[in-house]
A and B are shown apart, each in its own frame.
Chain A
Amino acid sequence: MTNEPVIIKGTKEGVTIVVEENSNFEDVKKIIYEKLQNSRNFFTGAKVSLKAKNGFLKKEDYTKLQEILSDFGMSLQEAKSPKTLIFPKPNRSRVLLLKRTVRSGQKISYKGTVVILGDANPGSEIVATGDILVMGTLRGMAHAGAAGDTSAIVAAFRLQPTQLRIADVISRPPEDKEQSPLFPEIARLKDNMIVIEPYNSLK
């Protein structure tokens, strides 16, 4: 791999500009400017998408690049979100990581996010002020956003809880559910109701 902070690539959809991680934005700006200057008119009219390796660009930097590009007659497209499946990043600072099975009669109470590498068995209780992520089967009771955070979520590799609570909303799985789905699911609050969706997008 080159160590160049900026790579310009031609793709099916047009031109892609890739900005390397940890590169100085002033350098980036200069390089893009120079490269475009050297290939005058070649890119005119091209649709450009921008990719930053570290995931994001500052809004002001983004606007500056947009200006440069439009000077050369190019239009910048909105960046598409990556298709990679990422488990939701806990957005609260305190995280409790448990590498074991939480068994019947055991209660986990935590101010923050709880991540369990294992199962939470029936009869267990997990209460967190933040999110609850179970990288196994959740069969017990889970209460996310216990202090009232309605944006809290419960996600599990296999979501088969006895009862789910988010903030002050309580729900239980439908009685007629014959077989639980064999894919990860995520529960969150929508219009004061707990909804469960397959976990396959970051929408």
Chain B
Amino acid sequence: MGEAIVITSGKGGVGKTTTTANLGTGLALYGQKKVVMVDADIGLRNLDVVMGLENRIVYDLVDVANGVCRLKQALIKDKRFENLYLMPAAQTKDKTAITPEQMKKLCDDLKKDFDYILIDCPAGIERGFKNAIAGADMAIIVTTPEVSAVRDADRIVGLLEASGFEEPKLVINRIRPDMVKRGDMMDIDDMIDILAIELLGVVPEDEKIVVSTNRGEPAVADETSKAGKAYRNMVARLQGQDVPLMPMENIEPSFMDKLRMFFGLKARTR
């Protein structure tokens, strides 16, 4: 039996789809796991575009839920990465086209064949969100270092806790170490202090993400990308490995850190 993980955020545009694409590809590529990514954003599907698989869609999630086709017919196999599949959303319908119960059944069916089911949740807290979390066992919350995104993430954690999710994990996306250092951006500790959930990883702002998204090639496979490295670390952590947060460039050790190092203590890793 596989594990279904929903990737959610509340706020839009913080990187749910990018995170789903990269973690999914990473788990298949480096973890040698059988992975399916489910796009739950019916009516505003993006995951297929980010993965570069748009032109191969024949059937979608709604067709499977309504019995128009069999589950396997809607799954798109990614030819570049072995073990990686996509379940696309419908673009011509809306969130009410499926129910949470149908979504749960779909996830249960997928769990029989796959190790990981990554569900890309739409923004918001309404029907689309309820559909997306219905079949999930675990949640990953994506936020950016902005007050509004953290506020929405906090709301989502509250809703997830009310739905019985015990330990959601946090991904902090698009952090800019230089701005954090100047005090112009919330730092990681501020966000963890408010959200009080376990940190899965921190992704630095990286131009390569824009390029890879437009080309439909996940950055996780790009060895030269900083963001890609962050995603690879997260893939390892998801599989139970203990990987320290990677040091971000432009962050020099502070005086206290230097002092700690001088006395042979571990400097705080960022």
Interface residues of A (CB under 8 A from B): 100-101, 103-106, 119, 121-123, 137, 139
Contacts and interface: CB of A to CB of B under 8 A. Distances in A.
What does DSSP make chain A's interface, helix, strand, loop or mixed?
A: loop
B61 interface: no
B158 A106 contact: yes
B194 A139 contact: yes
Contacts of A105: 154-155, 158-159
Contact of B158 (A104, A119, A139): A104
Interface magnitude class on chain B:
10 to 19
Contacts of A139: 194
A110 to B, nearest CB: 18
A122 B158 contact: no
Given A100-B161, A103-B157, A123-B154, 10 more contacts: A101-B196, A103-B155, A103-B161, A104-B154, A105-B158, A121-B154, A121-B194, A123-B151, A137-B193, A139-B194
B187 interface: no
A24 to B, nearest CB: 51
A150 B155 CA distance: 31
B54 interface: no
A103 B158 CA distance: 6
A119 B196 contact: yes
A69 to B, nearest CB: 56
Contacts of B193: 137
Interface string B156-181: 01110100000000000000000000
Interface in B204-234: none
10 contacts: A103-B154, A103-B161, A104-B151, A104-B154, A105-B154, A106-B158, A119-B194, A121-B194, A122-B154, A123-B154
A119 B193 CA distance: 9
Nearest to A123: B151
B63 interface: no
A57 B161 CA distance: 49
A2 to B, nearest CB: 49
B78 interface: no
Contacts of B158: 103-106
A55 B196 CA distance: 39
